[in-house]
């Protein structure tokens, strides 16, 4: 499969970002597909070994550690489903995300961490202000 992807011009692979947001019974149900960070990180590790550039989306420290343990070093921090009602709460979210980034960097100096953002995110919580190695922008066009 990796050979066919490469022949069609694919150079990189990422996991399904929505799987990192699943929890509870929905997470359990989706794992039978399988749609879980654990399964996807293992797949990305195989893709990485086959020469593809990989980006592993994560939401939590546990997920980042699992991706790193799988041999993945290029990670994308997704901020999760945000419900920010004020500038102060946005600042708290940013502070929490920055501490998460710093913890990962302290544990895995070889990790490259990108932040996932979009026009909406930048208006609500400016994720581009995080001290990361780069940004992954979601851009929708009509």
Write the pLDDT tens digit of every residue in 69-92. 999 999 999 988 777 777 788 889
Indicate which CATH number applies to the domain containing 48: 3.20.20.70
Residue range of the domain that includes 85: 2-138
- Under DSSP, is residue 17 helix (H, G, I), strand (E, B) or coil? helix
pLDDT of residue 27: 53
Q: Residue 55 above 80 pLDDT?
A: yes
pTM for the complete prediction? 0.84
Q: Tokens standing for 60? A: 């939590």
pLDDT band (50, 70, 90) for residue 29: low
Q: Which residues contact 90 (CB under 8 A, 6 or more apart)?
A: 84, 124, 125, 126
Average pLDDT over residues 16-40: 65
Identify which of 27, 28, 77 has the alpha carbon closest to the alpha carbon of residue 56: 77
User: Strands across the sheet with 134-138, in order?
Assistant: 12-14, 53-58, 74-77, 112-118, 134-138
The total number of structural domains that make up the chain? 1
Q: Which of 71, 60, 76 is nearest to 14 (CA)?
A: 76
CB–CB of 75/67 below 8 Å? yes
For the chain, the average pLDDT equals 87
| Euclidean distance between CA atoms 130 and 20, whole angstroms | 20
What whole-number distance in Å separates Cα of residue 46 and Cα of residue 28?
24
- CA–CA separation, 41 and 15 (whole Å): 7
- What pLDDT was estimated at residue 34? 66
């Amino acid at each position: 499969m990796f050979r066919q992807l490469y022949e069609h011009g694919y150079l990189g692979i990422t996991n399904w970002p929505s799987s990192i947001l699943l929890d509870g019974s929905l997470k359990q149900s989706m794992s039978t597909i399988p749609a879980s960070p654990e399964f996807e990180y293992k797949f990305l590790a195989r893709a990485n070994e086959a020469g593809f550039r990989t980006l592993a989306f994560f939401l939590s420290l546990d997920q980042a550690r699992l991706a790193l343990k799988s041999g993945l070093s290029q990670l994308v921090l997704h901020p999760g489903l945000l419900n920010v009602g004020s500038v102060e709460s946005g600042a708290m979210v940013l502070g929490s995300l920055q501490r998460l980034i710093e913890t990962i960097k302290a544990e895995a100096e070889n990790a490259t961490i990108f932040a996932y953002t979009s026009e909406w995110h930048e208006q609500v919580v400016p994720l581009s202000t995080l001290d990361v190695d780069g940004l992954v922008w979601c851009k929708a066009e009509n």
